[in-house]
Amino acid sequence: MTDTARLSAEPEKTWFGHPPQLARLFTTEMWERFGYYGMRAVLTLYLANHFLFDDATTNGLYGAFTSLVYLTPLIGGLLADRYLGSKRAVKLGAILMSVGYFVLCFGGEAAKPYAVIDGQRYEVVNGTRDGEKLQYLVDGEQKLEIRGNEDKSVSLLASDGQETRQLPPGALQSGAERSPFYVAVMLLALSAVTIGNGFFKPNISTIVGSLYAQGDRRRDAGFTIFYMGINLGSVASQMLCPILAESVGWWAGFLLAAIGMALSWFLIQFDGGRLDGYGEPPAQTGTDRTLLIYVGAVLAIPLAWFLFDNMLTNAAAAAAAAQGGSGFLGYIASLPLLGKVLFGTFLVSVVGIPIWAWSVGNRAEFQMMSVAIILVVFNVVFWTLFEQAGSSLTFFADRNTDRQTVFGLMPAGSVQVFNPIFIVMFAPIMSLLWTGLARRGLEPSIPVKFAVALMGAGLGFVVLVWGTGFAGDDYKVALWWVAATYLIHSIAELCISPVGLSMITKLSIARIVGMMMGVWFLSIACAQYVAGVVAQFASVETVGGRVTNLKVSLDTYAQVFQTIGLISLGIGVVLLLLSPLIKKWMHGVQ
């Protein structure tokens, strides 16, 4: 036998049955998500407890940040497709995100709370009694306990517990003295993260898709394994970052996130040639635009900062519209600049891309691209509910959940760790399930998987609302009700997120697959913004970062969670009924 024949007879090296390059991309994404989810686990509590923003402002800024995080991939994917190549775009994104997390370490002195009553300003101090966290209003030599009532009025209590004054709803206005400089630094850090993510997130997924030939049935399973790497990274960070933030300081939690992101850059920068030939720049004629893109990415950071600052400036008006008589439509009318840009971009994309596909492709390509856009729209609903994890669900865990476990008191930010734990547990099972069903010709279609995900997202909140009926005298539910919600949401996530990434690479016209991956993340961006709207409806009154009445907050969360849960269940049923028609337009894509 000749050497050539022997070589050709050797089996192709694989990693768990997949291309070996998947291992390097798996690890790179794992450390990137370690940084991102570690930062996210700390962010809302940092905004509420360090800068003392009220619920509406915190939820609004969090929604604005996460929406812009998913909006920028539309541009990052396009620049990678046309000029940079996916691999160089990932490296650039990793550097910018590392810098952003590191800058978050510099938060300055904590904001100082105060209250205004009848135009007079009073100092507010925090305290505890029998383990209960309390707020006191300083009136001369007196420290009066601030106690919220079920009718949303506020009582001021003397040291003997006697009520000295009762204030009608809205008569006590809480505020805080915070450094404009350190607020600007915080917004600058978030801006660097958003721009960096725009280059990193869509393009590493595009490289994964390029590992598989068209029609390779391993693609869905490969994306599911890749998705498990995301959650392996976030398991550790969502537990460790909040613990460090509480025990050492906010800076320590953010520093750990920065270290994780730096490791991600190291792995993709020094890949030992493992990724040669994947994610390379397209053939170009004329001037090399690489340096121009790098400079433009840095100059885009002040633009993102402006959008965040504009959101903060308009937060009060937006919150008033959300909670006043104008409702959701009134809120949309009061959108800050970022909201207008976000929804305008999404509308142009979902209308313009099918029109473009009709003009340049054949009938089958048009129908397949239309299916991708239809599923992108349904994707908004799922992530609107799922992304309550970083806002309203985190505040629910902080205020109305008994977080005592066999290991001690779990930090509120660490409750989010249930999601990646369940993903790691169930991702291999789901991967085997899809593969096994596919061999038997029984695998559900992509639209059916999306419908199951939507119904699961709704069911998770319905279960949590059921759990609020078992709250104790302290108006707190057992931690396991929250864990049950995350369990249902995690299984639902496995039906839509890795499947959605794979769907984009299979249904898209080849020359715009990077931009379509950006549109996928754009749909999540819109969901993040809408999630901020939902979270603002769930906002409750706080003084000095603490809720004045836990029963009011429990009832508020239960009402909002029930509403969004039932809506998502209904939309999931509608998609399930439409799935046979949608499947016909997929022309055999599985």
User: Going from the N-terminus, what domains does the chain have, and what CATH number goes with each?
Assistant: 18-43+50-111+189-212+237-279+289-312 (1.20.1250.20), 112-176 (no CATH), 346-590 (1.20.1250.20)
Reduced to 3 states (helix: H, G, I; strand: E, B; else coil), residue 478 is: strand
**What is the identity of the amino acid at 119?**
G
Q: How far is CA 199 from CA 96, 104, 192, in A?
A: 9, 20, 11
What Rg, from alpha-carbon coordinates, does the chain have? 25
Query: What's the pLDDT at 462?
Result: 96
Q: What is the DSSP letter of 386?
A: H
Angle at 240 between CA 395 and CA 40, to 5 degrees: 45
Q: How many CA atoms lie within 13 A of 269 on its CB side?
A: 11
> What average pLDDT does the structure give for the chain?
84
**What is the identity of the amino acid at 309?**
D
Query: What's the pLDDT at 320?
Result: 62
Q: Per residue of the chain (590 residues), what is the pLDDT tens digit? A: 444 444 444 456 777 677 887 888 888 988 998 999 999 999 999 998 899 998 888 888 888 898 888 778 878 888 888 888 888 999 999 999 999 999 999 999 999 999 898 889 989 988 877 767 788 889 888 888 888 888 888 888 888 888 888 889 888 888 889 999 999 999 999 999 999 999 998 888 888 878 877 777 777 778 777 877 777 888 889 989 999 998 999 999 999 999 999 999 999 888 878 788 887 888 776 677 888 999 999 999 999 999 999 888 876 666 566 555 555 556 556 667 787 777 777 788 878 878 877 877 777 777 778 888 888 888 889 999 998 988 889 999 998 899 887 566 788 888 988 988 888 888 788 878 877 887 888 888 888 999 999 999 999 999 999 999 999 888 999 999 999 999 999 999 988 877 777 777 777 766 667 667 777 777 888 888 888 878 878 888 777 778 888 888 899 999 999 999 999 999 999 999 988 888 888 756 66
Q: What is the pLDDT of residues 480-496, one digit of tens each?
A: 999 999 999 999 998 88
Q: Which residues contact 404 (CB under 8 A, 6 or more apart)?
A: 410, 479
Residue 362 class from Cβ within 10 Å (0-12 exposed, 13-18 middle, 19+ buried)?
A: exposed
Query: What's the pLDDT at 532?
Result: 82
- What is the rounded CA–CA span in Å between residue 312 and residue 56? 10
Q: Which residues contact 453 (CB under 8 A, 6 or more apart)?
A: 382, 492, 493, 495, 496, 572
Q: How far is CA 318 from CA 52, 152, 311, 392, 536, in A?
A: 18, 21, 9, 17, 9
Query: What's the pLDDT at 512?
Result: 67
Cβ atoms 417, 40 nearer than 8 A: no
Query: What's the pLDDT at 242?
Result: 93
CB burial readout 480-496, b (16+ within 10 A) else e: ebbbbbbbbbbbbbbbb
Query: What's the pLDDT at 573?
Result: 94
Can you list the positions of beta strands (E) in 161-261?
163-167, 172-177
Q: How many CA atoms lie within 13 A of 499 on its CB side?
A: 27
Cβ atoms 112, 501 nearer than 8 A: no
Beta strand pairing status for 172-177 and 132-139? unpaired
Query: What's the pLDDT at 328?
Result: 54
**Ordered DSSP codes for 393-410:** HHHHHHHHEE-EETTEEP
The model's pTM:
0.82
Query: What's the pLDDT at 45?
Result: 92
Phi, psi of 129 (to 5 degrees): -150, 120
Q: How far is CA 436 from CA 75, 119, 217, 404, 442, in A?
A: 37, 68, 11, 40, 9
Query: What's the pLDDT at 332?
Result: 59
Cβ atoms 30, 230 nearer than 8 A: yes
- What is the rounded CA–CA span in Å between residue 335 and residue 529? 10
- What is the rounded CA–CA span in Å between residue 38 and residue 40? 5
**What is the identity of the amino acid at 127?**
G
User: In the β-sheet with 172-177, what is the strand arrangement from edge to edge?
Assistant: 163-167, 154-157, 142-148, 132-139, 120-129, 112-117, 172-177
Dihedral-angle region of residue 295 (phi above 0 means left; psi in -120 to 50 means alpha; beta otherwise): alpha
